[in-house]
Structure 1
Amino acid sequence: MSKPVVAITRPQDRAKKACEIVEKLSGVPVLAPTLDLKPVNTESLRELVERKDELDWIIFTSPTTIVSLNKFYPDFIKTLDCKLAVIGNKTGKLAEKQGLTVDLMPEDFTAEGLIEEFEKRGITNQTIGIPRTASARPVLPESLEKLGNKVILAEAYKSLFPMDDTKVKELITKIKNKEIDAITFTSPLTVENFFTIAEDKQEIAEMLNENLLTVSIGPITAKVLDKYNVDYIYPDTYTVPDMMELLFETLNRC
């Protein structure tokens, strides 16, 4: 039996682990980034850094946030004196490598999961910093404010349409030629950008349904797949390793 060919649409600088997992599980990864991440030093990020001493909490929603802060303000993280909440194991592990203690990480690795934990703990009347991408969903800051907290929102990086879409177009050709067994999406924008690059969206969606196994990292990304009428599965725990494990378990049952 030939090795399953798995398409990975993550940003280039965050895809190494996913490719390694596919190879470890006896698959062949095909990297076609549908998203570029670019750290940026914005006015809002500078303001957050200047107001560091006001913070009761800071929330890191992705590793790229930490990368951006270290790039532009290398002393910021090491001098933080507030509680830390993170979304996801990878973000938590990177924060701990920086010498930080993670005070809160929800079992459900989504903004909704984090909000639920803040509600359970009755966290209110706190000043909370959230450095992230400006294209992120508004649910997290809005919900925290509804709980009576003050939110300092900062743009730490940009989520960009890929500057070079050659690999994505090559992937689409491979999909049409039935050379791909599965495709993975790890954020809503990876889905949106993929279908923006695809000229015939309906045709590609039908091909995904008929010829491929589509795997979403979780329910938020899955909602965008619903928009394009693509069938999918996603793991109980919203991480890349769990996603890949489910992918290969499902392929092996077929």
Structure 2
Amino acid sequence: MNVAVFRPDDERLADAVSLLESLGSTPIADPMLAVEPTGAVPRDDADFTVLTSKTGGELAAGAEWEPGETTLCAIGDATAAACRDAGWTVDLVPEEYTSSGLVAALEDRVDGGRVEVARSDHGSVVLTDGLNDAGAFVHETVLYELVRPNGAGESVELAVGRDLDAALFTSSLTVEHWLDAASERGVRDAALAGLNDAVVGCIGAPTRETAEKSGVSVDVVPEDADFEQLARAVCGER
């Protein structure tokens, strides 16, 4: 079973490959995201500071930012772990590891407060709009940009040849970049047809929505936005 995985080419991709191998699949490592730090750091005068990814936590720590008196919020266990590895106390991790989950956890607490959202350049407006609607004064800092690596698209060729059995999309941007890679090769329609013959997994509802709007048939969305759950669910489909 050839399973395409699109995580950035770091320990996340290595861990994904190991997991898929342990599940008896053949991983197709095809990174669709690369991280380009901006050099910015979160503001230090906020009542609440939100970090949305492991990468964001690591970059903030590497820049020697400190939370101080802010209430530190992390979306997901991996983000929280990166913060704790930096020696910070994480005050809130929402039960649902999504932007809407964090809004639900904070909406009764942030009215009139300053909220710093530190994340990538492709963060969902669900988070910032939701916090604004809850009465917060929201400031966003872009810690890093997400770009498509040069040469990405091995799995596109497999899809065209009907040799792709499954694909694991972990963000809306991985879907968009995959389709862009297909378009650049002049094979978007054939690649999309091949992808729709495979088992397609999306890590959460926003990724699923992006995929379906682009004509991708989504077969699996795990209960939690967790890569291991996604991989196990997809591999169990074949």
Normalized against structure 2, the TM-score is what? 0.91
2:221 corresponds to which of 206, 213, 234: 234
Q: CA deviation at 1:240?
A: 0.4
Which residue does the alignment assign to 2:97? 109
Which residue does the alignment assign to 1:182? 166
| Structure 1 residues 206 and 193: alpha-carbon distance in aligned structure 2, compared to 1, 3 A threshold | same
Which residue does the alignment assign to 2:57? 66
| Counterpart contact for 2:161–2:194, Cα < 8 Å | no
**Structure 1, unpaired ranges of 5+:** none
Distance 1:111 1:65 in 2: 15
Distance 2:29 2:22 in 1: 16
| Counterpart contact for 2:159–2:192, Cα < 8 Å | no
User: Which residue identity lines up with residue 9 of structure 1 in the other structure?
Assistant: F
| Counterpart contact for 2:58–2:82, Cα < 8 Å | no
| Counterpart contact for 2:119–2:142, Cα < 8 Å | yes
Which residue does the alignment assign to 2:78? 90
| Counterpart contact for 1:60–1:130, Cα < 8 Å | yes
| Counterpart contact for 1:58–1:83, Cα < 8 Å | yes
Q: CA deviation at 1:81?
A: 2.2
Moved segments of 4+, more than 6 Å = none
Q: Secondary structure of 1:125's partner?
A: coil
Distance 1:204 1:224 in 2: 17
Q: CA deviation at 1:97?
A: 1.7
Aligned length: 233
Which residue does the alignment assign to 1:125? 112
Q: CA deviation at 1:193?
A: 0.8
1:10 corresponds to which of 4, 7, 11: 7
| Counterpart contact for 2:6–2:170, Cα < 8 Å | yes
Q: Secondary structure of 1:15's partner?
A: helix
Normalized against structure 1, the TM-score is what? 0.86
Distance 1:238 1:138 in 2: 18
Distance 1:7 1:80 in 2: 41
The root-mean-square deviation of aligned C-alpha atoms, in Å, is: 1.6
Q: Secondary structure of 1:156's partner?
A: strand
| Structure 1 residues 57 and 122: alpha-carbon distance in aligned structure 2, compared to 1, 3 A threshold | closer
| Counterpart contact for 1:202–1:228, Cα < 8 Å | no
1:197-233 Cα shifts (integer Å, max 9, x gaps): 10332322221122x1111111111111112221111
Q: CA deviation at 1:122?
A: 3.6
Distance 1:190 1:16 in 2: 17
**Structure 2, unpaired ranges of 5+:** none
1:38 corresponds to which of 36, 39, 45: 36
Instruction: Tell whether 2:10 aligns with 1:19.
Output: no
User: Which residue identity lines up with residue 250 of structure 1 in the other structure?
Assistant: E
Q: CA deviation at 1:111?
A: 0.5
Q: Secondary structure of 1:12's partner?
A: coil
Distance 2:129 2:205 in 1: 20
